[in-house]
Structure 1
């Protein structure tokens, strides 16, 4: 199982526990200059986790065309695409 916690300075989506092949979706509202959402992902029973900047308004023109940022937690790391259904995944971060 994967523990996911996403939040911003003004909003906290709480913690989600995801089983294999499950997903969680968040709808974000952004200020074009300052919005930033962080997500922490950790496999249950593992000590290491990954914190990623899931969305930063000034950086994420990669999500602009589709208004979608999609992250996939796979065995070797976290992958990103701006498409759903997901295609063209690129490695965002390896697990520590």
Structure 2
């Protein structure tokens, strides 16, 4: 998988509100009403990540979920990261 240039990444990020690029990865965070809602979304994302065979770096504290995406084999961001980012956005939107 080809690593995207910073220019390509910034162009694609225009379609992803709340996502940023830093340290060779895409980053975002979400806040939910409570821990149960955050964990429910994490579970849905986990199933999607497994289906795509591409897994996020993430952390959860109570109602907040922080996510970073990068393709380790490419040492940066690839199309795989944007595909998973879109799936994550769709999952979060479906829960609102």
Normalised TM-score (structure 1)? 0.27
In terms of fraction of residues, the more strand-rich structure is 1
In terms of fraction of residues, the more helix-rich structure is 2
Question: Of the two structures, which has the highest relative contact order with CA contacts closer than 8 Å and spacing of 6 or more?
Answer: 2
